[in-house]
């Protein structure tokens, strides 16, 4: 099933769109099955769960942290994480930089923008993102590199609303790219909305339930 789901999704993706298989809550057997089908990028939203899976699975997997970050846990993933999607504070960047330095690494990060109308979603305002990217303090953080932006749309069937939210982030991304050559990745789109995200310029989608099936949070 997992293999088939992966193949079906990949068959529809444009070449420039990267698929992150979101495996949070799923057992390592399921990840191994996706791995055997060729998947190499996995997304998790809890640092400890990701670190446990990292220990058990092949080392050529690229691990993406897609969840909201607690600074005090960054140290548990600093030695292996490939990309951190959900950075929404400058102080978190400082902590990632500090931990990355200990391992002599440069950790790639995305700044999370708030595009949804729901209050529950995390993220920086567009102004805050511009300020961080322009700030002098950022230049001191040589062990991190901001390589793009991430956003989560409102949980809705209203396609117009989704188009509006994704295109607003795409516009910001295009505007910032002119001064920031490092910005290459626009992470937006999940199982329910990734087609619309791609229509609006997404280069990286984070898909969980359409690959692994529904999650069970008990
Ligand atoms: C869980 C999660 C996803 C995947 O959601 P699905 O609807 O299962 O595809 C994508 N992005 C983030 C940030 C998530 O937490």
CATH number assigned to the domain comprising residue 109: 3.20.20.10
Q: Is position 41 within any domain?
A: yes
Q: State the pLDDT at residue 218.
A: 57
Q: Is position 216 within any domain?
A: no
State how many domains the chain has.
Answer: 1
User: Which numbered atom of ligand 1 lies nearest the CA of 45?
Assistant: 15
25 lines ligand 1 (CB under 6 A): no
Q: Is position 56 within any domain?
A: yes
Distance 207 CA to ligand 1 centre (A): 6
Q: State the pLDDT at residue 119.
A: 73
Distance 140 CA to ligand 1 centre (A): 32
Q: Is position 197 within any domain?
A: yes
Distance 103 CA to ligand 1 centre (A): 29
Measured CA to CA, the distance from residue 75 to residue 71 in angstroms comes to 8
Q: State the pLDDT at residue 93.
A: 97
State the residue range of the domain holding 27: 2-210
Q: Is position 217 within any domain?
A: no
Q: Is position 81 within any domain?
A: yes
Closest CA to 59 of 45, 79, 74: 79
Measured CA to CA, the distance from residue 106 to residue 104 in angstroms comes to 7
Burial 29-46, CB ≥16 within 10 A → b, else e: ebbebbbebebebbbbbe
Global confidence as pTM: 0.96
- Enumerate residue ranges in the chain where pLDDT < 70: 120, 217-218
């Amino acid at each position: 099933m997992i293999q088939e789901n992966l193949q079906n999704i990949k068959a529809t993706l444009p070449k420039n769109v990267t698929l992150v298989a979101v495996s949070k809550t799923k057992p390592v057997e399921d990840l191994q099955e996706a791995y055997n089908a060729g998947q190499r990028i996995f997304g998790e939203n809890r640092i400890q769960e990701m670190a446990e899976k990292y220990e058990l699975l092949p080392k050529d997997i690229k691990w993406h942290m897609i969840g909201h970050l607690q600074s005090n846990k960054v140290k548990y993933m600093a030695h292996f994480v490939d990309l951190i999607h959900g950075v929404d504070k400058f102080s978190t960047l400082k902590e990632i930089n500090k931990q990355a330095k200990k391992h002599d690494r440069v950790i790639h990060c995305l700044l999370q923008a708030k595009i949804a109308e729901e209050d529950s979603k995390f993220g920086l305002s567009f102004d805050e993102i511009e300020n961080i990217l322009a700030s002098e303090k950022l230049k001191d953080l040589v062990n991190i590199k901001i390589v793009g932006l991430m956003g989560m749309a409102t949980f809705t069937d209203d396609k117009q609303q989704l188009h509006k939210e994704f295109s607003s982030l795409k516009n910001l991304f295009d505007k910032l790219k002119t001064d920031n050559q490092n910005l290459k990745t626009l992470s937006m789109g999940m199982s329910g909305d990734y087609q619309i995200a791609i229509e609006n310029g997404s280069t990286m989608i984070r898909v969980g339930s359409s690959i692994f099936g529904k999650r069970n949070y008990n």
